[in-house]
Amino acid sequence: MIRKRLISLPSAATRSRSLPVAGPMSASATNGEGDHAGAASVPKAVPHRVILTLDDCVLPPERLAVTPSQAHGLGREDETDLRMLGCELIQSSGILLRLPQVAMATGQVLFQRFYYSESFVKQGMEMTSMACIALASKIEEAPRRLRDVINVFNHLKQRRTGEVTGPMILDQTYISIKNQVIKAERRLLKVLGFCVHVKHPHKFVVSLLQVLGLNSDRELVQTSWNYMNDCLRTDVFCRHTADTIAVSCIYLSTRVLGVSPVITTLKYPQTESSRIRNLSDPNAVVVLSNNVCKINLFRNSCNCLLRSRSQ
């Protein structure tokens, strides 16, 4: 069931006009009409409605065209590398914190969404990564102490620089880092508008493979799962829905492994689009729980996946 929340917000122009005037107010200004003494009647602010639903997880094309980081002079390739590095830190720290995979996936999607509203130039990547994994652990009901999160990131940094590994000392530096992570987590919630729901494609992949009769092919299942996890290093989850990503991962796996099954019908109620053609056809259609997911292989996304797999 899709949850909806309606928020009424006045526009910027009406907000600036409806600001109270400094100084004492006359009786006419407090009589419920909102008019100040000796001034013309101020028009009432007309609020506009902002609808927040689970369908809003995909960002509009105008938000994806030019990111805030690119507006501040950061190159596209550099931004892509920073996004991949931040997601890799979230994944590695989640493994050390023994978090479930769904928590690590949620943290990486929140990280990608955040940097479509904020810039890498102004907001540090490492501090945001810590805030994302800490927030994701709470969202997926597997909370971890902030001290553990900081120690894990410090351990990863020590391993990268070749230093002797060890926990952080409880000194002023630790207190400062802890306060910065708390502020980064609050900023993350504020920027995202507390809309932290993430719809993952994992269940779609499992269900689709069962419907297609391919769940016994362990190599195909593992390859599809690997591509899906590699998607988390990119911004695919900000561009496409979970069912589209799941079908694309299966389609890409069948192309790489040379698997070409032909399914004549599905086990779901028959509809006009209840038949599926050969998966080698890019226009193949899959019906899952009465939802039609058209396979759409996006070349840029797949290039990012293949590049991530080769590194």
Crossing angle of the two packed helices 125-139 and 146-161, in degrees rounded to 10: 140
Decide if pLDDT at 231 tops 70: yes
Closest CA to 127 of 93, 97, 99: 93
CATH code for the structural domain at 75-192:
1.10.472.10
d(CA 89, CA 34): 54
Torsion of CA 140, 144, 149, 150, to 10 degrees: 140
Decide if pLDDT at 38 tops 90: no
Decide if pLDDT at 173 tops 60: yes
Is this model's pTM higher than 0.75 or not? no
d(CA 239, CA 58): 5
Crossing angle of the two packed helices 101-114 and 172-192, in degrees rounded to 10: 70
d(CA 93, CA 99): 9
Decide if pLDDT at 6 tops 80: no
Decide if pLDDT at 28 tops 50: no
Among the ranges given (35-44, 109-118, 137-146, 168-177), the one the predictor scored with the smallest mean pLDDT = 35-44
Looking at 1.10.472, 2.60.120, 1.20.1280, 1.10.3470, the CATH number of the domain 202-310 comes to: 1.10.472
Q: How confident is the model at residue 140 (pLDDT cuts 50, 70, 90)?
A: very high
Among the ranges given (207-211, 234-238, 298-302), the one the predictor scored with the smallest mean pLDDT = 298-302
User: How far, in whole angstroms, is CA 16 from its chain's centroid?
Assistant: 33
Q: Is 204 helix (H, G, I), strand (E, B) or coil?
A: helix
Q: Is-same-fold flag (75-192; 202-310)?
A: yes
Helices (H), 66-171: 68-71, 76-96, 101-114, 125-139, 146-161
- Could you tell me the residue ranges of all domains in the chain? 5-52, 75-192, 202-310
Residue type, 131: A
